[in-house]
Amino acid sequence: MPTKARITALRCAPVRFQGQVRDLAVRWVLEEAGIAYDVRLVGPEEQNSPAYRALHPFGKVPAYEDGDVALFESGAIVMHIAEKTPPLLPEEPAARARAKAWVFAALNSVDPDIIALGDIDHFAADEAWAKQRRPALAAMVQARLDAVAAYLAGREYLVDRFGAADIMMIMVLTALRHTTMIADMPTLRAYRDRCEARPAFQRALKGQLDAFAQGVTSS
Ligand SMILES: N[C@@H](CCC(=O)N[C@@H](CS)C(=O)NCC(=O)O)C(=O)O
């Protein structure tokens, strides 16, 4: 296992998905933590290989390895890094537990309907069933966004100061980039802009976009 942290990312992705592939969250948390990392780019053949499936059972990205651990699932990897990086998870137990709840909320309460909406918009927009289904799904996404925005009113971040929960929430919200849903909500738009203005996010985003542009492994 490598001693330097190593993540996997996709070698290729359609342009519309570049900047929202899940390794972005892992790059971001590593950048926030100041941890150097290598990026191993993978494609379908490697993703389906037994060796890669041993690392990531679903054959997806990101996977993560360091001297101690091999992990998959962006949320689990973000939590693993944040646990070692005090500013990214509160020290105080109640606040720490609440931060974890928001990581789960991003992935479990907000993400599923956003993914379903994206599936319709990107892959089935012209299908009759999709046209029928979309309004109800969009309303469900809107209700989740309204709840997050209501919670954020008067707050800069989900828990006290910027941390793991914000990384996962912003990661999840990037999948709405093809809509105006965030732009139409001043609280969420300001929250997103505040988080994405962080130099660590900008470095993470550049890393993902550069890798797609060059098709080479980067660190
Ligand atoms: N729940 C997983 C999702 C992983 C996932 O679906 N990754 C996508 C990119 S965002 C992927 O690897 N797609 C390439 C493929 O399916 O071949 C996580 O958050 O890590």
Query: Is 26 exposed, middle or buried (CB count within 10 Å of its CB: 0-12, 13-18, 19+)?
Result: buried
Q: Which of 200 and 87 is assigned the larger pLDDT?
A: 200
Answer yes or no: is pLDDT of 87 > 60: yes
User: Alpha helix (H) ranges present in 19-110?
Assistant: 23-33, 44-47, 50-55, 74-83, 93-105
CA–CA distance, 66 with 7 (Å, rounded to integer) = 9
Answer yes or no: is pLDDT of 216 > 50: no
pLDDT in tens, 29-68: 999 999 999 999 999 999 999 999 999 999 999 999 998 8
For residue 22 and ligand 1, the question of a CB distance below 6 A is answered with: yes
So what's the pLDDT on residue 48? 98
Give the H/E segment covering residue 38. strand 37-42
**Residue 1 CA: distances (Å) to CA of 42, 55, 65:** 17, 11, 7
So what's the pLDDT on residue 159? 95
pLDDT in tens, 108-141: 999 999 999 999 999 999 999 999 999 999 999 9
In total, the chain counts a number of residues equal to 219
The Å distance, Cα 186 to ligand 1 centre, comes to: 29
- Residue whose Cα lies nearest atom 6 of ligand 1: it is 60
Best of 12, 22, 39, 107 for a ligand 1 pocket test (most atoms within 8 Å of beta carbon): 22
HSE-CB for 35 with a 13 A CA cutoff: 24
Tokens 């519309």 correspond to what residue?
A: 16
- Residue whose Cα lies nearest atom 13 of ligand 1: it is 60
